[in-house]
Structure 1
């Protein structure tokens, strides 16, 4: 099975080769810290827009690292464009679907069903389960956009903090991103380390379940005590009500359509594993994230819009109104991708990887530390997974299948550690949840840290018995 078919455009291009450092290690560390400090100060103290702060932070990294300004500009603009083309496209398509879901009353239908069958105490658990199901085949950004209208409505109807409802869903999404194949992240590590897919899948589920429980419903309730925010109005339904709604089954099938297409692609890739096979070629197209979301929007026009008896003008108005609110989000997320690439191209990931491999610690802990350091420095879970698993590959010769799979899980756990200002996902969550930077750090970033550490702990516990 080729990984290029499983990794979205822009991520596969990152490759597995480490970047040569452009300056001594201490200077690169200083550059990274200076860039992050500039971003934080500009946003929190000077109240500058994050888009401009990320651009200025990128140039700060280049200047402190004594990197050519034109090279910095190339790194930033190239990845800004590729992020807008990949993640930005997914956000736009997801926003169109989400607005149609809200305007048609489909989101209300889902929420009424969830709230009607779950007590307020159980709602965070239900959202964690939904997040895990949605997140299994999807990259994080897609899952967030699809879930946001549901998260907003559940928080309002149940009169709970947005954080209490949203953090469990994000935990489910993020855990799948790092731990459970056939998600592309774990598959990258499986390929680099030569791990067994079935073994990693089984052990990944065993680690993911308690990890999601701790980082999701339990931590979410705690975080809700110090970060209390109301649901934003980004996906609020406009006054287009016809007095009708699509029924629950039709609505749920519409929401799960892109999930089913991506899962189907992953299963076909695993079971057939023949690039020349006609069925696999078809699923490679249908399960491609932009195609899957585009089909969801087209199908939603008929299932959601048709179920609400929308006219063509009402469908057009709903889709058009979805884009202005997320224009700023796309710019910020794309700029976050550019800042991340500037850090990567300085070679700081290579410096941290070399440092970690010189320490004499257990392979599971070393794999986690490697992934954590590269994640913190570059902001990319994918780069952390690729680099850490590539460096650990030579140490896995002669190890049992279970031991190799546990190293995969350690890498996956480390790759989601403490998302902060150099991670595009940080800005996505901040903007969609309507949080300040400190609130995002105290909720989303801490949740990622709890998830990462919990994943390591349960991986180490499994290593005792397998």
Structure 2
């Protein structure tokens, strides 16, 4: 019965989201209630479980996701992202503009959500391609590959951060493993994949009415070092904590790095620094900076709700003891829990379209496998993340963002974007399995 309840729940989720076009948050709440009742919970108990899941998930993640959005917005509004891009392009030269663009997107992608990163970097992609005399997709595809890979694998992005909370994974280790896996995924899914196309296949025209980029003057932008260090500050602080934990666990500085390396604290520190480096030091008034705060938070409201809905579904699975049933089955299974988690997320991604919903739902279903098999929770996070960005098509907002900004046909979008994210997903799975051999 528990497996049947999950199947009914997932099928209902697909019907609500695909056939009825219902919002993901509402769909997840309905499915959570139905699955709880099917498993013998009273309606009141199911609602209480949903409320616990909502509160627990948002309580752990709100600070991280909100501060991540604020940091990205401050970097964008100050010209910091443009400074990073143009400096790297100048350093690498026109012959290596693709590499410069990938590095830019990878750095910027750590702080920016995927959609925000696209809006920020698309104008630069167009400018770089024109200046270097290369097809737009020759630059655009690797940039998009870097952004979607960071979005799927590296905290503090909502997907991996939320899934990490489900698996109770260490965010610092998840970040480090995620970056290690992201490097080959970006290279193979981006620059190497573009080499399979003829030059004319990479041509595209960006419809100018879809973006209104602000061209920052030299004196308006912060310095390169300032921009780079501020945008990477959360990663630096978290990495320092992990390094001390591994190499100097008994060090007297451990309590200090443990505090500043906490993801929420690291992002709070980074935002405070950014207020000065990207705001006050650039001559901005505090009310202008606070406007960026408001705009960034309003843009992630639905993301937070969807994540909370996924947390509610997870809590119902736990409170109805479906997790124990799954753990009992998987205790004797020969299928790798990493592959199983990737497969669940991939199927949901293709069916639903939302990477966040796919990752969170897969995590809720597969969470008991950590205790049952002893697998690394950090690698389970990345397996779910890899599965959640696989074959993206017409039911995914990212598909349409990519299509419209590059003014492509649906066929060409599938041939470039859909195949590209699938390559990244498969490379991510392989990376997870390889790391699993050494830890």
TM bin, normalised by shorter chain, reads 0.5 to 0.7
Query: 1:126 pairs with 103, 123, 129, which one?
Result: 103
Deviation for aligned residue 1:262: 0.7
Task: Summarize deviations over 1:400-445 as a string: whole Å, max 9, x none.
Answer: xxxx9xx89975664335328xxxxxxxx95899689x99x97999
Displacement of 1:295 in angstroms is 1.1
SS at match of 1:71: helix
| Contact 1:168/1:216 (<8 A) preserved | yes
Residue 20 (structure 2) aligned to one of 31, 39, 42: 42
Q: 1-side partners of 2:3 and 2:205: how far apart?
A: 40
Tell me the residue number matched to 1:287.
261
> How far apart are the structure 1 equivalents of 2:402 and 2:210?
13
Aligned equivalents of 1:212 and 1:82: distance in 2?
33
Q: What's the counterpart of residue 311 of structure 1?
A: 285
Q: Structure 2 CA distance, aligned partners of 1:322 and 1:234?
A: 18
- Indicate the residue corresponding to 1:140 in structure 2: none
Matched with 2:124 is 157
CA distance in 1, matches of 2:337, 2:225: 43
SS in 2 for 1:322: helix
How far apart, in 2, do the equivalents of 1:235 and 1:255 lie?
23
Contact 1:83 1:334 in 2 (8 A): yes
Partner of 2:385: 416
How far is the alpha carbon of 1:254 from its aligned partner?
0.9
Most deviating of 154-163 and 326-335: 154-163
Residue 220 of structure 1 and its aligned partner are, at CA, apart by 8.7
Higher share in helix: 2
Kindly tell me the number of residue pairs found equivalent between the two proteins.
386
How much has 1:344 moved relative to structure 2?
A: 4.8
Most deviating of 25-34 and 244-253: 25-34
CA positional deviation for 1:349: 4.7
Quote the offset at 1:68 in angstroms.
Answer: 2.4
- C-alpha separation between the residues in 2 aligned to 1:435 and 1:71? 43
User: Residue 252 of structure 1 is aligned with which of 228, 232, 257?
Assistant: 228
Take 1:231 and 1:288, find their aligned partners in 2: how far apart are those partners?
42
Contact 2:323 2:367 in 1 (8 A): no
Q: Which residue of 2 aligns with 1:390?
A: 371
Alignment-derived partner of residue 10 in structure 2: 32
CA separation of 1:97 and 1:309: change in aligned 2, threshold 3 A = same
For the 8 Å contact 2:33–2:43, the answer to whether it is kept is yes
Name the stretch that deviates more: 372-381 or 69-78.
Answer: 372-381
1:333 deviates by 2.9
Structure-2 change in CA distance of 1:204 and 1:310 (3 Å): closer
CA offset at residue 284 of structure 1? 1.4
What SS does the aligned partner of 1:332 have? helix
1:368-393 CA-to-partner distances (Å, cap 9, x unmatched) read: 33434675788447667864343334
> In structure 2, do the counterparts of structure 1 residues 106 and 372 end up closer, same or farther at CA, with 3 Å as the change threshold?
closer
Scaled by the length of structure 2, the TM-score of the pair is 0.67
Secondary structure of the residue that 1:153 maps to in structure 2? helix
Q: 1:146-178 CA distances to partner (integer Å, 9 max, x unpaired)?
A: x7655432222213577752332332454567x
- Work out whether 1:71 is the aligned partner of 2:45: yes
Gap change, CA 1:301 and 1:242, over 3 Å in 2? farther
Residue 423 of structure 1 corresponds to: none
The answer (yes or no) to whether the contact 2:317–2:364 under 8 Å persists in 1 is no
Match among 61, 65, 69 for residue 91 of structure 1? 65
The answer on whether the counterparts of 2:105 and 2:147 sit within 8 Å (CA) in structure 1 is yes
Is the CA contact 1:352–1:374 (under 8 Å) kept in the aligned structure 2? Answer: no
- 1:105 offset after TM fit, Å? 1.8
Between the aligned partners of 2:330 and 2:88, the Cα distance in structure 1 is 46
2:353 matched residue in structure 1 = none
Distance 2:301 2:381 in 1: 31
Distance 1:383 1:35, change over 3 A: closer
Aligned to 1:337: 311
* Alpha-carbon distance in 1 for matches of 2:19, 2:205: 23
Report 1:180-191 matches (<5 A). Answer: none
Q: Which residue of 1 aligns with 2:299?
A: 325
1:123: how far off?
5.5
5+ long unaligned stretches in structure 1: 1-22, 135-142, 178-182, 192-196, 394-403, 421-428
In the alignment, structure 1 residue 368 sits paired with structure 2 residue 368:
no
Does the CA contact (< 8 Å) of 1:219 and 1:447 recur in 2? yes
- Whether the 8 Å contact between 1:28 and 1:65 is mirrored in structure 2 is no
**Given the superposition, is the C-alpha separation of residues 273 and 87 from structure 1 closer, same or farther in structure 2, using an over 3 Å criterion?**
same
| Alpha-carbon distance between aligned partners in 1 of 2:319 and 2:211, rounded to the nearest angstrom | 35
The 5 A counterparts of 1:343-358 are 343-358=317-332
Structure 1 position 331, deviation (Å): 2.5
- Give the unaligned 5+ runs of structure 2: 127-135, 156-160, 349-357, 390-395, 404-409
Q: Is the 8 A contact 1:104 1:305 kept in 2?
A: yes
Secondary structure in structure 1 of the residue aligned to 2:222: coil
- Could you say what secondary structure the match of 2:300 adopts? helix
- CA deviations on 1:167-225 (whole Å, 9 max, x unpaired) are 32332454567xxxxx996xx8999xxxxx9xxx9x99886654443345556999999
Given that 2:230 and 2:273 are in contact with CA atoms closer than 8 Å, whether structure 1 keeps it comes out as yes
TM-score, normalization by structure 1 = 0.63
Aligned-residue offset at 1:81: 2.0
